[in-house]
Amino acid sequence: MTFEFGDDGARGSTLKDVAIVNDSNIWAVGEIYLNDSTGQPDPTRYNLIVWDGVKWEIKRVPYYYQGEPFYNPIQSVFSFSSNDIWFCGNGVINWDGKKYTPVPIPSNILGSYQMNKIWGRNSNNFYIIENGGNIANYQNNNWSIIISSTTTDLLDIWGNSDGSTIWACGYDMDYSQSCILKFDGSDWQTIWSTHAVSTPPYDYLVSTIWAGDTYLYVGAGDGIYRTPLKGNDSTQKVLSLQLDPHRIRGSAENNMAVACDDGSIWHYNGATWFQETPTVLFRPLYSIAVSENTIIGVGFDATKTNIKGIILMGRRN
């Protein structure tokens, strides 16, 4: 199924991230504009759309500055449960099942850069990554800053099942550098970086990362790479793509999916990779979420006369 949202004006709608609580409870975030009752562009900005198993409902989630609400775009959404969902972008917001509550961050923890992604095992211990190489840890209602030893924009973060190892990655928007960071429970270290077009084992820029129980999967340049988490086996390229992968996610290592810059979604069943959607240039998918039976890809569709936010939903037969 394909869903598109947007107005007929100059401003385009874009969805940046998505989280699956269950197959009847899915949250996608970004920036959405609609038309008013007369069919004209409505300047009201929305930043959340929620699937209840039957329909999508568009919502407005407020950030606050000096007590005033602002409905800026949301960059990331992460679900710990149906009553514990976190958002970030220009600030941090928590949904507790009843209301949206801003969670202030001291200015010395995260600066004025855009927050890009959330990952954690529970809402008492999670991480937020930001442009400029910044990492913040929220633990037991307190924020702390992580010294990451890089100024590269961090775009994705993921950890193993027990949280003992966490990886982050990203690249600068001028394409000048790219890196992968690893947290071993005590320290964040740079385990790969480049200032060149290509530095082995990855081709060009690292954009996304995901870990299963056996392998670390990395999206870089025009492919997906796999590195064993144990042993001395080398990194292998396991999938070649036409354009960059924006996000790789999975419910298990035999149920993973990749959202790409050309609008395609690739699925891995543990044995083979299969392209689930046709390549449609100018329909980049920025994020993807995977459950046992559902895959959701989000982004925007620029193949239309006006840019519209797009959601691609696939269900297991």
Question: What is the DSSP annotation of 70-116?
Answer: E-PPP-EEEEEETTEEEEESSSEEEE-SS-EEE----TTTS-SSPEE
* Domain termination residue (choose one: 193, 226, 259): 226
Of 235, 246, 262, nearest to 116 by C-alpha is 246
Q: Two tokens at 46?
A: 């929305």
Calculate mean pLDDT across residues 155-169: 93
Q: For residues 162 and 305, which has the higher predicted lDDT (pLDDT)?
A: 162
* Domain termination residue (choose one: 175, 194, 226): 226
Q: Report yes or no on 231 lying in a domain.
A: no
Q: Report yes or no on 156 lying in a domain.
A: yes
Of 218, 248, 210, 216, nearest to 229 by C-alpha is 216
Q: Report yes or no on 232 lying in a domain.
A: no
Q: Report yes or no on 235 lying in a domain.
A: no
Residues 175 and 247 in one domain: no
Q: Report yes or no on 233 lying in a domain.
A: no
Which residues pair with residue 266 across a beta bridge? 258, 275
Residues 216 and 113 in one domain: yes
pLDDT category at 243 given cuts 50, 70, 90 is confident
Residues 87 and 22 in one domain: yes
**For 69-83, how does the pLDDT look when each residue is reduced to its tens digit (9 = 90+)?**
999 999 999 999 999
* Domain termination residue (choose one: 197, 226, 255): 226
315 touches 294 (CB < 8 A):
yes
pLDDT at 1 exceeding the cut of 70? no
pLDDT in the model for residue 274: 94
Overall pTM > 0.85: yes
Which residues pair with residue 20 across a beta bridge? 26
**For 112-159, how does the pLDDT look when each residue is reduced to its tens digit (9 = 90+)?**
668 999 999 999 999 999 998 999 999 989 999 887 889 999 999 999
pLDDT category at 11 given cuts 50, 70, 90 is low
User: Range with the lowest mean pLDDT among 66-70, 86-90, 234-238, 283-287?
Assistant: 66-70
Residues 80 and 110 in one domain: no
Q: Provide the domain limits for residue 306.
A: 1-103+241-317
Query: How many domains is the chain partitioned into structurally?
Result: 2
**For 179-198, how does the pLDDT look when each residue is reduced to its tens digit (9 = 90+)?**
999 998 888 899 999 887 67
pLDDT category at 178 given cuts 50, 70, 90 is very high
The count of residues in the chain is 317
222-228 long-range CB contacts below 8 Å, 24 or more apart? 224/248, 224/258, 224/266, 225/201, 227/201
Calculate mean pLDDT across residues 282-291: 94
